[in-house]
């Protein structure tokens, strides 16, 4: 019987050399090392031997089991490692590299940069101002008196009785005129804040671009010509627009600028882009500019509305939702 033990050991080790896959190795384990495997059954047969042969047979059976088990585990580890290597992604270093996806400017920033470039070519400088303003710059100097409804707390973000988040970039015009003597020719971009009800065309925070020209002999014709050149440069020479009489405390006369929207179904509608007008003499008096000698004009356009008109965006909220599916289109 001991010779049979040795024979099983040789056969097991020989069969193990033929194993080349984890599936074949599992079949080997069942055949030799499983609960009913040939090596396992050796231990069960030791009890049938004589008392004199049991010690030797037990030692031999344990040695055979250990040798086969050790060889099995080594081969199992080798096959598992080989499979892991084969499953790794192969990289061909001769192929071109994977391009890195770069970010880009937000559509509002793109629009603002284009606006500044257009007005820069028209001879305008750029001015900036604080977003937290006092009542003097936001209202009083702009000829908006204490009784004017535009100063109502329900229509502004007040911080205290004399401080608020600016509701218009016209405040920058006041700061420029306080420090600069005519001739003045600047545009002033920035964020403004109004507690409007949010819908497809209104937001409580949005961007404006103001323009201001002050010099001797400036007329409304100059303003209209500048606006027309801007609209045809930004939107295209076929763009239809119009002046519509309006009222603003800081300009007189005043007008609204509307652009014509043409739908795919042939429908047409006018959309307001912003306000404009000749600077009111009271504003010049507030900043110390001689209103008898100088005249000026100003306009303010909503940058979001300009971007929406140019790119066919139907809801202003899309500009602030940070949805990459939307932003990646620009």
> How many domains does the chain contain in total?
2
- Residues belonging to the chain: 330
State which of 87, 119, 146 marks the end of a domain.
87
Please report the pLDDT score of residue 233 as a whole number.
Answer: 94
178 in a domain, yes or no? yes
Contact between 188 and 172 under an 8 Å Cβ cutoff? The reply is yes
Are residues 221 and 302 located together in one domain of the fold? Answer: yes
Tell me, yes or no, whether 92 lies in a domain. no
Domain shared by 27 and 176, yes or no: no
Predicted local distance difference test score (pLDDT) of residue 170 = 93
Residues 287 and 224 grouped into a single domain:
yes
Last residue of a domain, one of 58, 87, 116: 87
Which pLDDT value is given to residue 1? Answer: 58
- What is residue 88's DSSP assignment? S
- Domain assignment present for 40: yes
CA torsion sign, 16 to 19 to 21 to 27? negative
pLDDT for res 88: 55
Which of 27, 54, 87 is the last residue in one of the domains? Answer: 87
174 exposure class (CB count in 10 Å sphere: 0-12, 13-18, 19+) = buried
Indicate if 155 and 216 belong to the same structural domain.
yes
Judgement on whether residues 206 and 67 belong to the same structural domain of the protein: no
119 and 37 belong to one structural domain: no
Pair (59, 156) in one structural domain: no
CA 296, 297, 303, 307 dihedral sign is negative
Q: Is 320:125 a contact under the CB 8 Å cutoff?
A: no
Residue 102: inside a domain: no
Residues 115 and 39 in one domain: no
Same domain, 155 and 245: yes
3-state secondary structure of 286: helix
Residue 155: both structure tokens together: 């229509």
pLDDT of residue 111: 94
- What is the pTM for the complete model shown? 0.67
Residue 122 lies in a domain: yes
**DSSP reduced 3-state for 271:** strand
Please list, residue by residue across 111-142, b when 16 or more beta carbons sit within 10 angstroms of its beta carbon and e when fewer do. bbeebeeebeeeebeebebeeebbbebbbebb
Q: What is the pLDDT of residue 89?
A: 58
Give the separation between CA 168 and CA 191, rounded to whole angstroms.
8
Query: Does 96 reside within a domain?
Result: no
| Boundaries of domain holding 35 | 2-87
Three-state DSSP at 264 gives coil
The enclosing domain of 310 has a CATH number of: 3.30.930.10
Identify the segments of the chain with pLDDT beneath 50.
Answer: none
Residue 27 belongs to a domain: yes
């Amino acid at each position: 019987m001991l010779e049979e033990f040795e024979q099983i050991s040789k056969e097991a080790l020989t069969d193990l050399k033929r194993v080349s896959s984890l599936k074949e190795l599992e079949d080997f384990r069942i055949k030799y090392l499983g609960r009913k495997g040939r090596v396992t059954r050796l231990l069960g047969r030791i009890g049938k031997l004589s008392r004199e042969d049991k010690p030797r047979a037990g030692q031999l059976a344990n040695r055979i089991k250990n040798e086969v088990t050790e060889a099995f585990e080594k081969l199992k580890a080798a096959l598992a490692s080989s499979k892991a290597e084969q499953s790794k992604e192969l990289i061909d270093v001769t192929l071109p590299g994977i391009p890195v996806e770069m970010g880009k400017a937000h559509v509002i920033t793109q629009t603002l940069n284009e606006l500044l470039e257009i007005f820069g070519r028209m001879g305008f400088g750029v001015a900036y101002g604080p977003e937290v303003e006092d009542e003097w710059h936001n209202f009083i100097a702009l000829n908006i008196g204490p009784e004017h409804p535009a100063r109502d707390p329900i229509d502004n973000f007040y911080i205290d009785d004399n401080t608020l988040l600016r509701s218009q970039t016209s405040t920058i015009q006041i700061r420029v005129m306080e420090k600069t003597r005519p001739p003045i020719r600047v545009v002033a971009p920035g964020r403004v804040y109004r507690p409007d009800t949010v819908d497809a065309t209104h937001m409580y925070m949005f961007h404006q671009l103001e323009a201001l020209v002050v010099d001797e002999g400036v007329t409304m014709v100059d303003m209209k010509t500048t606006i027309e050149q801007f609209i045809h440069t930004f939107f295209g020479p076929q763009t239809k627009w119009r002046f519509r009489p309006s009222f603003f405390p800081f300009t007189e006369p005043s007008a609204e600028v509307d652009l014509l929207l043409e739908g795919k179904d042939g429908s047409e509608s006018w959309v307001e882009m912003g306000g404009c007008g000749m600077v009111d003499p009271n504003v010049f008096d507030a900043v110390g500019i001689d209103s008898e000698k100088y005249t000026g004009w100003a306009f303010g356009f909503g940058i979001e509305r300009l971007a929406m008109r140019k790119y066919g965006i139907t809801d202003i909220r899309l500009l602030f939702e940070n949805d990459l599916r939307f932003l990646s289109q620009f």
